[in-house]
Structure 1
Amino acid sequence: MIPPAFEYARPMSVDQAVRMLADAGEDAKVLAGGQSLLPLLRLRLAFPELVVDVGRIPELRGVREDGEALVIGAMTTHHDVIRDPLVRRHAGLLAEATATVADPAVRHRGTLGGSLAHADPAGDLPAVALALDAELVAAGPGGRRTIPAREFFVDYLQSALSPDELLVEVRVPKVPETDGWTFHYEKFHQVAQSWAIVGVAALVRRDGGGITEARIGLTNMGSTPLRATAAEEALAGADDPGAVARAAEAAAEGTQPSQDLSGSPEYREHLARVLTERAVLTATGMG
């Protein structure tokens, strides 16, 4: 289908982009990699009067260290996230999960910031951001503010960004493997390029033989990405596959998965339990 008519602007700086968004108000949409917005436009599910293309703003790309955190520009592509040595060393869960996003063509165009700002609970990376305790930095007319990932995802396709704000960077705390942290992203989907029916991002810390801390992010188990807090608590002290399996039974507690052609809520709850067990066993090497 042909998108509705709109004005197009290509700012060359964050300040210029923010001014354009502020002037347009709710009638503007930000174009990052285009992998989410362009289908919405073609299906006529979005009707912006102005599309602000931020693809030529150099400060929105790249990965750098800032003390105990990685700072990843919002326009950094999935491809670059996967290949970046800092991400692979200090945020391996993000690199692993990003490698499962769609297909190579999408990963070369799609961006980390675009995926998070789109706030699709079926997307892989929002749940990973929750598991990593990431922070998202937004620039607006009043300056910049930092939003914890747990507060960023408000509802289905709705984030905490105001219409006049632009997501500029993602701050990810470093996860040193020397402290006993391991990780794995497990998802179930019908074909390689499709959205996850359910996904589980597991970040697990072991001391000796037992699990001392676990963070479990859930993909497509509600109107927003979720943390499986009941399973996280149950995993504390688990030191064998049987204990992990029992703890994973709590993975679906507090979730509200949808029903669609891909499965019922009960089916998704079952998948959440099974995939949590698989993800934790794989991460810890107990399986």
Structure 2
Amino acid sequence: MKPSAFEYHRPTTPEEAAELLAEFGDDAKVIAGGQSLMPMLNFRLAVFEHLIDIGRLTDLTGINHDSGSVAIGAITNQATVGRSALIRTSVPLLSRATPLIGHFPIRNRGTLGGSVAHADAAAEYPAVALTLDAEIETLSSAGRRTLPAAEFFIGMWTTALRDDEILTKVTFPIREGRSGFSIAEFSRRKGDFAMAGACVAVKVDNDLRVESCSIGLFGLGSMPIRATSAERSLVGCSIDELQVRDVAHAAVSGLESVPADLHGSAAYRVRVGATMVARALKSALEEATDD
């Protein structure tokens, strides 16, 4: 298959890219690594008259530590994220999620910003961003703005990114203290999108009680989801008294729009999701309490 004809643009600055988007509107699409967009274009599931290639804009690359957070340029490729010692020590959940994305050739071309902007409900990076309360920075011809991840994902392959905006940076807060992080997912084959998955970030106090907890779910709805009710129920609980399986079932109870297809029913995905939450939560708690 081949995409329909389009006009190719390669801006030299992020500002120029934003101006092109403003000029062409709905007829334009930004491309960086192209690992999600190109298959859609080739199968003509999407058609655009203009492609704006931001893949060589060095202003949008790099991983930087800055006052309690790590900022990652939007077109930083996933392989670079996976190799980063800074990410491994400061945002371990992101580091651990990276090897689960597709296969190495995909990670070598796919970008962090592209994955977040594409907002696939079964993808790892959007779920990690939501779980860690990341902030997403965008640029348009009108200027820059910053959105919390909780407000960025709004539906199936849909975000709060405006038609004239490009995603420029994702910033992850560094969680200190006695913290643990884990991601667990189930897929039919290695490299496939997850049928169900969970991300967990937990912090405990000196008395081994849960001080804070974040649980993100993916593959279980039209977008990544936070299990906020289950998170709240954990705060203040003693590690010794905590019933992981009960929390896991609470995390997936009441989910709406759980997908069902030839790979599994909605009920099956919910059961798998509960197991993934239990595994991730157990692992995160063990890391948080490991002396």
Do the structures match in fold with TM over 0.5? yes
Kindly report which structure 2 residues correspond to 1:1-287, keeping only aligned pairs within 5 A, or say none. Answer: 1-176=1-176, 179-207=177-205, 208-236=207-235, 237-240=237-240, 243-256=243-256, 257-285=258-286
Runs (5+) with no aligned partner, structure 1? none
Shift of 1:242: 5.8
Shift of 1:219: 0.5
Q: 1:241 to 1:116 in 2, by over 3 A?
A: farther
Deviations 1:17-37 (A, max 9, x none): 001111110111111111000
The whole-number CA distance in structure 2 between the counterparts of 1:240 and 1:188 is 28
Shift of 1:231: 1.7
When structure 1 is superposed on structure 2, of 64-73 and 237-246 the one drifting more is 237-246
Q: 1:215 to 1:73 in 2, by over 3 A?
A: same
| DSSP-derived class of the 1:144 partner | strand
The whole-number CA distance in structure 2 between the counterparts of 1:276 and 1:157 is 23
Shift of 1:168: 0.2
Shift of 1:241: 7.8
The whole-number CA distance in structure 1 between the counterparts of 2:17 and 2:192 is 32
CA contact (8 A) 2:180 2:286 kept: no
The whole-number CA distance in structure 2 between the counterparts of 1:238 and 1:12 is 54
One-letter code aligned to 1:216: I
One-letter code aligned to 1:46: A
Shift of 1:221: 1.3
One-letter code aligned to 1:219: F
The whole-number CA distance in structure 1 between the counterparts of 2:25 and 2:196 is 35
| DSSP-derived class of the 2:128 partner | helix
Q: 1:102 to 1:53 in 2, by over 3 A?
A: same
| DSSP-derived class of the 1:285 partner | helix
When structure 1 is superposed on structure 2, of 204-213 and 4-13 the one drifting more is 204-213
State how many pairs are aligned.
285
One-letter code aligned to 1:273: A
Deviations 1:242-265 (A, max 9, x none): 612221110113422111122111
The whole-number CA distance in structure 2 between the counterparts of 1:241 and 1:45 is 50
Shift of 1:239: 1.4
Deviations 1:103-159 (A, max 9, x none): 111111000000000011011111110111000000001100001100111110111
Identity %: 41
| DSSP-derived class of the 2:243 partner | helix
Shift of 1:273: 1.2
The whole-number CA distance in structure 2 between the counterparts of 1:273 and 1:231 is 12
Shift of 1:240: 3.5
The whole-number CA distance in structure 2 between the counterparts of 1:214 and 1:157 is 26
When structure 1 is superposed on structure 2, of 103-112 and 233-242 the one drifting more is 233-242
CA contact (8 A) 1:234 1:250 kept: no
CA contact (8 A) 1:202 1:283 kept: yes
One-letter code aligned to 1:197: M
- RMSD of aligned C-alpha atoms? 1.5
Deviations 1:31-79 (A, max 9, x none): 1111000000011010000011101100100011221111100001111
One-letter code aligned to 1:217: G
Shift of 1:212: 2.3
Shift of 1:209: 2.8
Runs (5+) with no aligned partner, structure 2? none
Runs of 4+ residues deviating >4 angstroms: none
The whole-number CA distance in structure 2 between the counterparts of 1:101 and 1:235 is 29
| DSSP-derived class of the 1:249 partner | helix
